[in-house]
């Protein structure tokens, strides 16, 4: 009888666990824009697994997941300011076309990787004009209100190793 009570105690504790700092959360999700266009989804893939409270998600999504339990399904709207921010003109840079390798393949809308003083960055080619290229370093989802359909499919305490590394590890152990 004692092991049954022990098992029920841990089952009830896990069932009541809520999304909070230092919990590992597994989510199924679909992300859409305001027009209903799917931008990303976990459908057909493994759930997204993250360590809550360390900034692994956009701030608005992480805040709205706080306090919910495993099994909960939510429809969430995240304004741009709580997602990838608003577009900033100072993140537009005009650079010489000669600085690119393979410039014959360049096109507006193309994404390119750059080396910056802060390390690698991704930019979108906003405009090509004569010998100048305008690069946009704003996040592609800046200024976009995001619509998430999420389901919390699993929730557990983070391991000591995960807390030390600041991120969740997969079922097989340490992964980067």
Name 49's bridge partners.
Answer: 26
Q: What is the mean pLDDT of residues 130-157?
A: 96
Which candidate, 96, 140, 142, 91, places its Cα nearest to that of 118? 91
What is the share, in percent, of the chain residues with pLDDT greater than 90?
A: 70
Comma-separated ranges of CATH 3.10.50.40 domains in the chain: 2-84+144-165
Residue 69 pLDDT greater than 80, yes or no: yes
Q: Where in the chain is the domain with CATH 2.40.10.330?
A: 89-136
Task: Please tell me the predicted confidence (pLDDT) of residue 176.
Answer: 45
Q: What is the pLDDT of residue 123?
A: 94
Q: How many CB atoms lie within 10 A of CB 153?
A: 18
* Distance in angstroms (rounded) separating the CA atoms of residues 148 and 61: 8
Q: Flag the least confident range among 1-5, 85-89, 150-154, 166-170.
A: 1-5
* Residue 65 confidence (pLDDT): 98
- Please write the tens of the pLDDT for every residue from 18-52: 999 999 999 999 999 999 999 999 999 999 999 99
**134 with 92: CB under 8 angstroms?**
yes
The pLDDT score that the predictor gives to residue 15 is 56
Question: Tell me, what's the pLDDT at 26?
Answer: 96
Q: By C-alpha distance, which of 30, 4, 28 is closest to 146?
A: 30
The CATH architecture of the domain made up of 2-84+144-165 is Roll (3.10)
CA distance 96 to 132: 5
Overall fold of domain 89-136: Thrombin, subunit H (2.40.10)
**DSSP symbol at 28:** E
pLDDT of residue 16: 81
């Amino acid at each position: 009888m004692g092991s049954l009570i022990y098992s029920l105690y841990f089952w009830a504790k896990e069932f009541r666990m809520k999304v909070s700092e230092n919990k590992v959360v597994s989510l199924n999700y679909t992300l859409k824009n305001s027009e209903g266009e799917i931008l990303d989804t976990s459908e057909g893939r493994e759930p997204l697994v993250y360590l809550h409270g360390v900034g692994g998600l956009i701030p608005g999504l992480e805040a709205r997941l706080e306090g919910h339990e495993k099994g909960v399904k939510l429809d969430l709207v995240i304004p741009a300011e709580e997602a990838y921010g608003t577009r900033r003109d100072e993140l537009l840079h005009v650079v010489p076309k000669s600085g690119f390798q393979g410039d014959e393949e360049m096109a507006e809308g193309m994404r390119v990787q750059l080396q910056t003083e802060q390390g690698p960055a991704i930019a979108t080619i906003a405009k090509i004009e004569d010998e100048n290229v305008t690069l946009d370093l704003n996040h592609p989802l800046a200024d976009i209100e995001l619509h998430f359909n999420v389901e919390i499919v699993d929730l557990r305490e983070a391991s000591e190793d995960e807390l030390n590394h600041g991120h969740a590890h997969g079922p097989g152990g340490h992964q980067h």
